[in-house]
Structure 1
């Protein structure tokens, strides 16, 4: 037996958890434990989760709807995951997702994701930077919009596009 005290179990109800609005088309609810994180992700048809990767292993279980995943650095592997199906995504594998219909998915991350995960950051950043206001105002203004996600921004070769150095 360890000298570390055992924490009590915690009971949650999804409807009682706050819903984070990541964009106009994507929101989520999170439950975190010591080593894992569980997310309900709500995506409207046509929603895009931009390409990203993370050190966490991810298991995605689709409860309702369908997502098209593009996997790999070149996004050459395509997998459609429908209600009742599961996709495992290894650590550091770049991936992008598109909602083919209104979708509710359950994502499990191990180890648990940091606050401001790369997926959430990419979604928020994509949403902020696709508005005319931020495209014209440049990286400094966009950085202000996204500062709670701990982003570093720099301009890409295209004046209207940015890429992100996530940490």
Structure 2
């Protein structure tokens, strides 16, 4: 029974695995292939999210590489290819998204946060500390009396470590 369960789990794992992508077929023209490789480095894999499609082993990255090569062969410019990918996948697909209203937080958010923290620290540093006025002679006499009374411990069970 246990062996059958292990075989079933292994079979489901094999079926659910993503099939290996077809191998890349470089363009026959070296100049066009170099252009494609340069574009691959600027485009983010939407599956891996931290790798360029040039380095990603994901099937979707292979499809994106194939699409870029097809667009180059069709005569599209780099800007047109990137615009088409942004239309399909959003600004996230580019490692350097364009500066526009929708991406202001992405571009300027870290600087705004840094300015806010710096401003807060500056305000805290500028705040004046309230100086404690000196004790009056009557208060000093009361304090001396309290400290003298402390020499006798009111609690007989108290130890020095309880202080």
Q: Specify if TM > 0.5.
A: no
TM interval, short-chain normalised: under 0.3
- Indicate the structure with greater strand content: 1
Q: Which structure is higher in RCO with an 8 Å CA cutoff and minimum separation 6?
A: 1
TM-score by length of structure 2 reads: 0.23
Higher Rg: 2
- Indicate the structure with greater helix content: 2
TM-score by length of structure 1 reads: 0.22
